[in-house]
Amino acid sequence: MLIQKYAREINLGVKNLLLHKLRSFLTMLGVVFGVGSVIAMLAVGEGASKEALDRIRKLGSQNILISSAKSIEEETQTNTRILMSIYGLLYEDERRIAESFPSVNRTVPVKEIRKQARLGERSMELRVVGTTPNWFELIQRPIISGRVLMQRDLDERGNVVVLTEHGVRKLLATKNTIGQTLRLGSEYFEVIGIVQSASVIGGDIQTPDQEIDAYIPVTVARERYGDIFMKRVAGSETREKVELHQIIVQVDSTQNVEMTAKGIEAMLKRFHKKTDYKISVPLTLLRQAEATKRTFNVVLGSIAGISLLVGGIGIMNIMLASVTERTREIGIRRAIGAKKKQIVLQFLIETVVLSTTGGLIGMGIGLLIPWMITLLAGMPTVVSAYSLVLSLGISMGVGILFGIYPAFRASNLDPIVALRHE
């Protein structure tokens, strides 16, 4: 209805713009690049943050990850006479956590050993992870073939192993992996399952799984490999004693996660003489990442908004020049009875048409750029509906805002003075 009511004014405004096609196009460029950059920059920022947030969510918002870590004193220790470095989490720590906190649903011990894996002529170094069946429930990874560890594997201390898809491809290629015998160090294990592993997140948080993992019962890991490991540093071998490399704690609700993490930290401080552990809370990291994402989007949007501001100034400048150029035309329209609001409406329509057309072209460019970035650079991008609506709305708003002054200036021209204008 609104378009029909002002169809004559809209038609007249479009015709006036088409009389100067190149000038109209150049005027729109500021809005085109402004809208395009808003959409493209928000898409890149949204894609990067979404990837990071998805990876953190996979760790579980109700989980707490406690990892063994050398204390600062041991890291800076230069005394080469030390025969063995003893640090990290204990089996007793897991028991205390499970029994001391009512909010804890379950705990998962993780023991890590680097071993050379061999099958026939193929070999590679794997990270052997001793754990329990609960690991596969807390850190959910798709099962590709076979099964994962079960309680009877722990009770019977069976030499069974679950591999990742990456390890299978490197070791076994196209062979039927389930039922094959794999040598890990000096021990032999039967392959009972294959799971898909997640990519490493990096940063301040250690992921529970890696692409080169091989999962065995924690009882078998302790019995077959013990707690003492040889580690080569700067050409010399040192011995380390670590009972558990990680404990994964599942809390009953997200509301209790941070409170439970503080309680666990206080308990570990009480029973550990040195700070040889690190606590990571995915929920806290998730909140920090979401806050960073919001800040990032505001910064990107503000930078792109400057282009829209420049585009709006360009529109106002051209419309002011148009008012001067069309002074006589305005005088004639006023002399034959045109009202001030009709003059205002005509110039506003022209600026809105310019900005809206520029906004639509900019939307096309804004959709094309993220697609090309994903195609050529492999970076994930996400074009959200709100960025499209926001950018188009802003472009129309820019047209109205920067068209008001030229429109009112045109409507306030004295008809007699305007008719005399050459």
Q: In this model, does residue 80 exceed pLDDT 60?
A: no
pLDDT band at 201 (very low <50, low <70, confident <90, very high): very low
367-405: per-residue pLDDT in tens? 999 999 888 887 888 888 878 887 888 888 887 888 888
Give me the pLDDT at residue 160, please: 94
Q: In this model, does residue 148 exceed pLDDT 70?
A: yes
CB 50 within 8 A of CB 382: yes
Average pLDDT over residues 233-255: 81
Average pLDDT, the chain: 80
Average pLDDT over residues 289-309: 75
Beta-strand ranges (E) seen in 243-314 are 246-251, 277-280
The three-class DSSP label of residue 194 is strand
How far is it, in rounded angstroms, from Cα 243 to Cα 86?
A: 9
Give me the pLDDT at residue 2, please: 53
Sign of CA dihedral 10, 12, 13, 15: positive
Average pLDDT over residues 310-337: 76
Average pLDDT over residues 347-361: 84
Q: Which residue has the higher pLDDT, 277 or 78?
A: 277
Q: Model's pTM, two decimal places?
A: 0.64
The conformation of residue 413, written as its DSSP 8-state character, comes to S
Average pLDDT over residues 325-345: 75
CB atoms within 10 A of CB 144: 14
Residues 6+ apart with CB under 8 A from 47: 370, 374, 379, 380, 381, 382
pLDDT band at 202 (very low <50, low <70, confident <90, very high): very low
Give percent of the chain with pLDDT exceeding 90: 19
The three-class DSSP label of residue 239 is strand
